[in-house]
Structure 1
Amino acid sequence: MGELQDSLERAGAATATRPIPASAGARMRFLVRSEHGSTRAVAQRLQVSQRTVERYVKGTLRHPRPELAARLEREVRKDWQPRVRARARRHAATSGGIVVETRAQFGYTGAPGSSDQDRMRLLTQHLPPHHAERLFAAQAAGAGEDELRQVVAEALRDVYFRDRGRRARSLEEVRFTTIDYIELDF
């Protein structure tokens, strides 16, 4: 996954109202339930044997290796409280919007005579709901990292650089050239 996709996943996981299960067995049982009882599917997701999954479910294994523990936690977070995540996304796309915090290098395309030199900027900006809706729709459509970057860059162009139409009207394009970090919150 890319930086924006990871950030969207983290923002969705942050909307959870309860913590994920604490023990490895409870996490494994949760994954088996979310896969409709298929230990084979969970084993494929975690890249372990089906028998290993069964042992965690049964309780004979309790302490996973660090790399398995990290994969287990990551997979549980992906599936944890899907209705809460969906409600948070709906709220962001209809009334709440989304907050983007990034340190990135931005490039510009504008009217002749304007500066198009890339500059590193630290931005924290609230984007209106229609931009959040475009971002979620692009992610749901399977957009790649470059397409998601373009959606966020266009949103920042409209909201930050053009100040919702009050300045820099000749600014045609804003693009991320380098992202140091990006965090989303909704």
Structure 2
Amino acid sequence: MVDSVGESLDRALEGAFTRRIPQSAQAQMKYLVKQLKGTKAAAQALGISQRTVERYVAGKLKRPRRDLRDRIEREVKKRWQPQIRAKARKKAASTGGLVVSTRARFGFEAAGGTTDDARIRDITQALPPQWADRLFTAREQGANEQQLQQIAADGLAQMYFRANNSRAHGLGVEFTDVERLDIEL
């Protein structure tokens, strides 16, 4: 399964963490209960019963099944080191930018049969801070995957295909069939 733009943004921010997340199911569950201010809220976030959460916190249950383990880890990572995450986001959006590495089908709005026909390309391109800011802001405002992909495509079009708008003015880029997508800060 291919990562979404949103998942890639989250993973990029996780790379800034200065400490590892709690490792045991009990420690992760205790962290979630503390962050969500109660076992009921933690149970709702994970889609399990409140009693199950209490059993993990007490240490009576120790090894969650794979899907629950993945949900617990995802919820912990979502809330882990919020200040570090915010600092990394601010740096990317103000000075650092980000690097998008993808393997996807890129094509251009042009007549069929030309060299502008869509084809699979491997592209690794640094995007300046304004594109990082647009992506993070859209993610925070609840943009769907298609909207995030469009922002990434616009950034790649400007920086890679139009060389920061120094050539190929007005070139419309299509970004589809994403096979791989990684974002780094």
TM-score by structure 1 length? Answer: 0.91
Distance 1:50 1:146 in 2: 35
| CA displacement, residues 87-144 of structure 1 (integer Å, 9 cap, x when unaligned) | 1000000000011000000121259x96431011101111000111111121122111
How does 1:27-176 map onto structure 2 within 5 Å? 27-36=28-37, 38-109=38-109, 115-171=115-171, 173-176=172-175
Aligned residues with identical type, % of pairs: 48
For the residues of structure 2 that align with 1:140 and 1:70, how far apart are their CA atoms? 22
CA distance in 1, matches of 2:170, 2:31: 53
Q: Secondary structure at the match of 1:116?
A: coil
- Alignment RMSD, CA only? 1.9
1: CA distance, partners of 2:51 / 2:165: 60
Point out where structure 1 has 5 or more consecutive residues left out of the alignment: none
Uncovered stretches (5+) of structure 2, i.e. residues with no partner: none
The CA deviation string for residues 153-181 of structure 1, in whole angstroms up to 9 with x for no partner, is 1111110001113322242x112121011
1:167-186 map, 5 Å: 167-171=167-171, 173-186=172-185
Verify: 1:24 aligned to 2:1, yes or no.
no
SS of the residue 2:7 aligns to: helix
Paired amino acid for 1:42: A
Q: Structure 2: how far apart are the matches of 1:153 and 1:121?
A: 13
2:8 aligned partner: 7
Query: Contact 2:110–2:117 at 8 Å: present in 1 too?
Result: no
How much does 1:73 deviate?
1.3
The number of residue pairs the alignment matches comes to 183
Counterpart-to-counterpart distance in 2, 1:133 and 1:70? 28
Displaced runs of 4+ in structure 1, greater than 4 A?
Answer: none
**Distance verdict in 2 for CA 1:147–1:67, change over 3 Å:** closer
Q: Supply the distance in 1 between the matched residues of 2:8 and 2:151 (Cα, whole angstroms).
A: 14
Whole-angstrom distance in 1 between the partners of 2:170 and 2:20: 48
